[in-house]
């Protein structure tokens, strides 16, 4: 592409690749479900270069896919139409933490964990702390409005953003909100960009709000009578006014698989249908006596059949490994099809009960694995075929399995819709779920979103085909 060569002459250090394995690696994310097709990969080093690249692509009618750590699970950063992939990993300017303002300025390519390390030196942290924190980028965290393990306490990413710098397809470079705490001057485009999955503009930098580090957590692992009991158990914790930092559920099948793959020792002698992992901030009100009293209540209510309270930080880390290694353990065994759902908390127990009952008919020949953030109503539905391998199995067999899972989406999402839930809690829509958007959004809402897209990107060149088609 001649215009890319012109950009390289203008910016001599600008890296551009038009052939080789990078065209595949940088054109995909963790989903691995779509055949990739990119015409070039470009690695800008500054926000100004991002704006210049977008302007050039806009002038020549070339589509662009923004990309970062590529840890997404909805194919939101996948190039399938010969697009130019704009990888932002070189935008790694990490500013100094400003304790007096409880904020930090970061480039879009900064890794989540680097922000956490910089903040902790000042007794602060960015509450959007993810399982993929060692590889996911801040730009992607904001583009998908990431949640993570502590949404129950701190909320999603948009609640912890002071300002964003964004490059638009016409080459404009905007700073949205600056350092203002109050700014009531019409539409807040900052929050429109956050969660837009790179379809409206490319986030190049942000000023993040930081929070004081919570007091060391007390970690409990509870063996439950059944999966729906997790919702009632969290309700009991809340009635005791305990400051919950996390409340994670995983089914017996998840734990069994983790023990099989990771070779961990089992936490309990007798398996249970499901497990609830809870972090409670270690305030003065959370003593050993109060924790024991809480456990007794759960036993008396018939919700819990066994439980353990971590007695050391190392034991707490091990309990968390049971939850954190589920995804990689499943992925090592075969092909996994994923759904990421959100339910109103009052509806979640009944939804889970119906899902477990109907799953054998929806997914014949496959295994169901349930885990997620039960404290905020987010459940991850994973379907595994052990006899299929992403690379080694016949393409026809892989396609047949994925097609069967796609067919099951309609009754599954209809159930979600009947419970007033969402088909995408935190992964986003991307390519993977756009066919089903009407299960969560009214047609008038979708048309309004299309109008916003046309206003920001009239040629439909920025991450085209994600969320919806124009």
From 192, 212, 232, give the residue that closes a domain: 212
Round to whole Å and give the CA distance between 276 and 269.
Answer: 16
Encode the chain (470 residues) as per-residue pLDDT tens digits: 889 989 999 999 999 999 999 999 999 998 887 889 999 999 999 999 999 999 999 999 999 999 999 999 899 999 999 999 999 999 999 999 999 999 999 999 999 999 999 999 999 999 998 888 899 999 999 999 998 889 999 999 999 999 999 999 999 999 999 999 999 999 999 999 999 999 999 999 999 999 999 999 999 999 999 988 999 999 998 888 788 999 999 999 999 999 999 999 999 999 999 999 999 998 877 888 888 888 899 999 999 999 999 999 999 999 999 999 999 999 999 999 999 999 999 999 999 999 999 999 999 999 999 999 998 999 999 999 999 987 788 889 989 999 999 999 999 999 999 999 999 998 899 999 999 999 999 999 999 999 999 999 999 999 999 999 98
From 23, 53, 87, give the residue that closes a domain: 87
- What CATH number is associated with residue 176? 3.30.465.10
Looking at the domain assignment, is residue 202 inside a domain? yes
Answer yes or no: do 193 and 221 share one domain: no
From 22, 55, 87, give the residue that closes a domain: 87
Element (H, E) at 325: none
Token pair 């009632």 is at which residue?
Answer: 232
Token pair 């020792």 is at which residue?
Answer: 265
Domain tally, the chain: 4
Looking at the domain assignment, is residue 270 inside a domain? yes
Cβ atoms of 156 and 190 closer than 8 Å: no
Looking at the domain assignment, is residue 459 inside a domain? no
Answer yes or no: do 372 and 408 share one domain: yes
Looking at the domain assignment, is residue 453 inside a domain? no
Domain extent, residue 374, equals 334-437
**Pairing assessment for the beta strands 83-87 and 38-43 based on DSSP bridges:** parallel
Answer yes or no: do 205 and 237 share one domain: no
Total count of residues recorded for the chain: 470
DSSP assigned state of 43 = E
Answer yes or no: do 110 and 62 share one domain: no
Cβ atoms of 409 and 127 closer than 8 Å: no
Looking at the domain assignment, is residue 122 inside a domain? yes
Answer yes or no: do 282 and 366 share one domain: no
Round to whole Å and give the CA distance between 225 and 302.
Answer: 7
Answer yes or no: do 206 and 221 share one domain: no
Cβ burial 311-344 (10 Å sphere, 16+ → b, else e): eeeeebebbbebbbbbbebbbebbbbbbbbbbbe
Looking at the domain assignment, is residue 319 inside a domain? yes
Answer yes or no: do 268 and 347 share one domain: no
- Residue 140, both tokens: 């992607």
β-pair partners for 103: 98, 209
Looking at the domain assignment, is residue 463 inside a domain? no
Answer yes or no: do 281 and 346 share one domain: no
- What CATH number is associated with residue 243? 3.30.70.2190
Helix boundaries (H) for 104-182: 112-120, 138-143, 151-154
Q: Is 177 left (phi over 0), alpha (psi -120 to 50) or beta?
A: left
Identify the three-state secondary structure at position 173: strand
């Amino acid at each position: 592409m001649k215009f890319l060569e012109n950009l390289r002459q203008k910016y001599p250090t600008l890296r551009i690749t038009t052939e080789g394995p990078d065209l595949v690696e940088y054109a995909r994310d963790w989903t691995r479900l779509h055949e990739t097709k990119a015409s070039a990969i470009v690695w800008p080093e500054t926000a100004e270069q991002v704006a210049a690249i977008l302007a050039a692509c806009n002038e020549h009618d070339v589509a662009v896919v923004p990309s970062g750590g590529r840890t997404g699970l909805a194919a939101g950063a996948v190039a399938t139409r010969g697009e130019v992939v704009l990888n932002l990993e070189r935008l790694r300017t990490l500013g100094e933490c400003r304790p007096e303002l409880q904020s930090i300025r970061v480039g879009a390519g900064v890794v989540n964990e680097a922000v956490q390390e910089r903040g902790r030196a000042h007794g602060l942290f960015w509450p959007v702390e993810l399982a993929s924190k060692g590889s996911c980028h801040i730009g992607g965290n904001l583009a998908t409005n990431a949640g993570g393990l502590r949404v129950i306490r701190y909320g999603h990413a948009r609640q912890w953003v002071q300002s964003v710098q964004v490059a638009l397809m016409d080459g404009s470079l905007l700073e949205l909100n600056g350092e203002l705490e109050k700014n009531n001057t019409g539409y807040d485009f900052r929050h429109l960009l956050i969660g837009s999955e790179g379809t409206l503009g490319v986030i190049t930098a942000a000023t993040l709000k930081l929070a004081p580090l919570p007091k060391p957590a007390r970690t409990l692992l509870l063996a439950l009578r059944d999966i729906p009991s997790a919702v009632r158990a969290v309700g009991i914790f809340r009635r005791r006014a305990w400051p919950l930092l996390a409340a994670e559920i995983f089914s017996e099948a998840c734990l069994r698989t983790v023990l099989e793959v990771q070779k961990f020792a089992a936490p309990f002698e007798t398996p249970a249908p499901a497990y609830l992992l809870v972090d409670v901030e270690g305030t003065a009100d959370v003593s050993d006596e109060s924790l024991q009293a809480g456990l007794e209540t759960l036993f008396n209510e018939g919700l819990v059949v066994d439980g353990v309270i971590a007695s050391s930080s190392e034991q707490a880390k091990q309990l968390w490994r049971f939850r954190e290694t589920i995804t990689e353990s499943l992925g090592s065994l075969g092909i996994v099809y994923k759904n990421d759902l959100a339910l109103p908390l009052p509806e979640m127990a009944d939804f889970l009960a119906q899902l477990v009952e109907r799953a054998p008919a929806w997914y014949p020949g496959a295994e169901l694995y349930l885990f997620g953030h039960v404290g905020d109503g987010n459940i991850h539905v994973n379907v595994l075929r052990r006899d299929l391998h992403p690379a080694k199995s016949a393409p026809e067999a892989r396609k047949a399995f994925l097609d069967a899972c796609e067919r099951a989406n309609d009754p599954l999402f209809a159930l979600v819709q009947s419970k007033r839930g969402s088909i995408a809690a935190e992964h986003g829509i991307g390519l993977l779920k756009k066919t089903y958007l009407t299960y969560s959004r009214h047609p008038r809402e979708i048309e309004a979103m299309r109008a916003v897209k046309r206003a920001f990107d009239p040629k439909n060149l920025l991450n085209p085909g994600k969320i919806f088609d124009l």
